[in-house]
Amino acid sequence: MTKRSTPTVLGQLRRQEPMRIVVVGGVAGGMSAAARARRLDEHAEIVVLEQGAYVSFANCGLPYHLSGEIAARDDLLLHTPESLAESLSLDVRTGHRVTGIDRHSQKVTIQSGDSTYALPYDALVLSPGAVAVRPPIEGLDHPAVHTLRTVPDVDALRERIQDLLAAREEAQQAPPSAVVIGAGFIGLEAVEALTARGLQVHLVELADHVLPPLDAELAPLLADELAAHGVDLRLGVSAQAVTEAVSVSPRATPAGRQPGEMSVSRGGALREPAEVRPPGAVTVTLSDGATLAADLVVVNVGVRPASALAVDAGLDLGPTGAIRVDGDQHTSDPHIWAVGDAVEVTQAITGARIPVPLAGPANRQGRRAADSICGHHTTPQAPVLGTAIVRVFGLTAATTGANQATLRRAGIAHEVMHIHPGDHAGYYPGAERLHLVASFAPDGTLLGAQGVGRAGVDKRIDILAVAIRAGMSADDLAELELAYAPPYGSAKDPVNMLGFVAQNVLDGTMPQWQAQDLDTAVATTLVLDVRSRPEYAEGHLDGALNIPHLELRQRLDEVTASAKGRPVSVHCASGVRSYLATRVLLSKGLDARNLSGGWLTLKAVHPHL
Ligand code: FAD
């Protein structure tokens, strides 16, 4: 898959005089580019310009320092300008912001403190990252409102939390509270961290489920986990305003009202039942009129590419505002490369050109840019899957490829499979249920997969990510040979099971119906519930005929009589027993189909059941 690229003019220049490579942004993509360039060219002058106070810091580790799991702040700082000078002979300048690019004279303009200077470059790498989206919320500038993107951000949050906890402990009051706005990957990590620090957390999300990139039928598992850890989840609403709550000391509490009964927001209206509010407390007003008392607010509603420099320099941008690059990270200027959150990539399944703000692509792109600059052979940028993972208390949620919403929007035909196997052999202690959803094209090609569970999710999603990249189909998944011993997996691994199920569906061995088709199934077919009587008694669909699967062969006449010529929509708890039942019915000439994912998926899609 590697190609030998034509050595660049810059690579040839190297032989005559040292090339100057200037890198804008000193974290994931930028530092990968700088370090790789040094490894390829010992003579180049490499200058890294970073507007912040830190370079090469672990932004992905910030939530875990907030929680206290990464106890030492220094562990986040992987390098300093001094260590980079010593180990890689890099000229790293923190507090230096690039304010302009003069493409004609090949110079960047830099602001450092009060001074401004110009620096010529032979090759320029842009890795300025992304900027946080600022939602239209009144009062977003209040000091209680935080973001979680940088080391200073996490410092400020930790300081505020320490002050709040100390004040509450001294006054023997209830724990402080936080509102997290946005239930994406970083929002969820913030929720987990704040809860671990002892805060009462409210989580506000505009979409109708947490972690919007996750398919809707998996998200309720995360919602339940959040609730089990005391998180107050507000879905389908937006935060509208953050207003300062008037701090009411016990002595100042108005006559007739006990401390903690009510607090008053600036503007006078009684807002929320509350206790004595410490200085800096706020009230967050939601679009449904509800109000939440908070001692701090964390906003994480997504990012957009930091492409302002590129815009001003007249570089080509894509429709999403991300910098347009070719397979070697070249921008529309032959002397400028761009990487990371600021650039657009090709989404592997849809072919859409979009930014994918993840650390893995940024690091690989930085390496590739350096290869290209130094005239080394490059591995062209592969289409990006957007493989991502997050821990939500005891659960892991992960995704790769296209989710169902993306496939629908792109008009890509697909069939969705849901399975709920154990993460390892059921007879070996400690097996946990895994929830996997995968979409396949009609020809069997794997298009996307997602998983939620307490164990084994990471490995299955990583395998499935490789499978998508390799263009594998259901047949390939069925034949994958994966490591197995009872503590680790099953002889038929969940990944093999996905392949088997997809084979059965796609070749007609097991027709299926989806939880989303419930109304049609109830209205036009016989619903046959083949779970045990106790399971049925715990909850079932109105009008469903209950015949436990082991009794089915003896009671086929009942099915035929009840169906009255209609198709039979079979289900059990997870889809396994109903698969067996569906096969029995089909072999008797009935028009039968199995519910994908069974009652577990049905309940997730229709929580009222
Ligand atoms: P960054 O790493 O953000 O670096 C850009 C740098 O450029 C910044 O330091 C910025 O100050 C600097 N800069 C910008 N403009 C200028 C300028 N004009 N002059 C000088 N300097 C400038 N991804 C994952 O895959 N997994 C995770 O678990 C994960 N967790 C994350 C957790 C948090 C809290 C955050 C914030 C991000 C997380 N990410 C994660 C995303 C990942 O960190 C980014 O995708 C990655 O860092 C992008 O690399 P980048 O080089 O494009 O930008």
Ligand 1 centroid – CA 359 distance (Å): 8
Question: What tokens does 147 get?
Answer: 């973001």
Average pLDDT along the chain: 92
Q: What is the pLDDT of residues 557-602, one digit of tens each?
A: 999 999 999 999 999 999 999 999 999 999 999 999 999 999 999 9
Q: Residue 128: what are its φ and ψ, rounded to 5°?
A: -80, 0
3 state DSSP class of 524: helix
- Run of H or E including 409: helix 404-410
* DSSP code per residue over 329-367: SB-SSTTEEE-GGGB-EEBTTT--EE----HHHHHHHHH
* Phi, psi of 209, rounded to the nearest 5 degrees: -150, 155
pLDDT digits over 284-293, tens only? 999 999 999 9
Distances (CA, A) of 419 to 385, 395, 569, 574, 596: 22, 17, 18, 7, 8
Distance from residue 97's CA to the centre of ligand 1 (Å): 15
Compute the distance from residue 381 Cα to the ligand 1 centre, in Å: 19
What are the φ and ψ backbone dihedral angles of 431, each rounded to 5 degrees?
-65, 135
Above pLDDT 90, what percent of the chain?
89
Q: Which segments within 535-601 are labelled E, that is strand?
A: 545-546, 568-571, 592-595
- Write the residue with the smallest CA distance to atom 6 of ligand 1: 25
Nearest-CA residue for atom 29 of ligand 1: 60
Pocket test for ligand 1, best of 60, 147, 325 (most atoms within 8 A of CB): 60
In whole angstroms, what is the distance from residue 598 CA to residue 583 CA?
15
Residue among 124, 341, 399 to mutate when testing ligand 1 (max atoms within 8 A of CB): 341
Do 86 and 42 meet the contact criterion of CB atoms below 8 Å apart?
no
**343 Cβ inside 6 Å of ligand 1:** no
CA–CA dist 588, 448 (Å, integer): 35
Contact 277, 296 (CB under 8 A): no
362 touches ligand 1 (CB under 6 Å): yes
- Give the closest residue to 581 by CA, choosing from 541, 530, 514: 530
What pLDDT shows up at residue 257?
A: 36
- 189, burial (CB in 10 Å: exposed 0-12, middle 13-18, buried 19+): buried
Please work out whether the CB of residue 309 comes within 6 Å of at least one atom of ligand 1. yes
Q: Is the CB of 148 under 6 A from ligand 1?
A: yes
Say how many Å lie between the CA of residue 402 and the centre of ligand 1.
23
How many angstroms does the Cα of residue 129 sit away from the middle of ligand 1? 5
Query: Please, what is the Cα angle at 578 between 576 and 582, to 5 degrees?
Result: 120
Atom of ligand 1 nearest to the CA of 25: 7
Q: Which residues of 507-522 are buried (b: 16+ CB within 10 A; e: fewer)?
A: eeebbbbbbbbbeebe
| Mean pLDDT of all residues in 172-177 | 87
**260 within ligand 1 shell (Cβ under 6 A):** no
- Whether the CB of 101 sits within 6 Å of ligand 1: no
Q: For 338-364, how does the pLDDT look when each residue is reduced to its tens digit (9 = 90+)? A: 999 999 999 999 999 999 999 999 999
Q: Quick one: pLDDT at residue 10?
A: 52
Which of 24, 27, 158 most suits a substitution to test ligand 1, by most atoms within 8 Å of the C-beta? 27
Atom of ligand 1 nearest to the CA of 96: 20
| Ligand 1 atom closest to residue 150's alpha carbon, by position in its atom list | 36
Give distance in angstroms: CA of 363 to centre of ligand 1. Answer: 10
pLDDT band at 167 (very low <50, low <70, confident <90, very high): confident
d(CA 472, ligand 1 centre) in Å: 32
User: Residue 186: CB partners within 8 Å, gap ≥ 6?
Assistant: 63, 148, 300
Amino acid at 335: H
pLDDT band at residue 262 under the 50/70/90 scheme: very low
Separation between Cα atoms, residue 155 and residue 235, nearest integer Å: 29
Query: Is 31's C-beta closer than 6 angstroms to any atom of ligand 1?
Result: no
Residue-level pLDDT at 244: 92
Residue nearest to atom 53 of ligand 1 (CA): 129
pLDDT digits (tens, 9 = 90+) for 355-405: 999 999 999 999 999 999 999 998 888 999 999 999 999 999 999 999 999
460-468: average pLDDT: 98
> How many angstroms separate the alpha carbon of residue 278 from the centre of ligand 1?
34
Residue 422 Cβ inside 6 Å of ligand 1? The answer reads: no
Whether ligand 1 lies within 6 angstroms of the CB of 49 is answered as: yes
Distance in angstroms (rounded) separating the CA atoms of residues 259 and 309: 52
Query: Predicted confidence band at 173 (pLDDT cuts at 50, 70, 90)?
Result: confident
What is the 31 CA–ligand 1 centroid distance (Å)? 11
Q: What is the pTM of this model?
A: 0.91
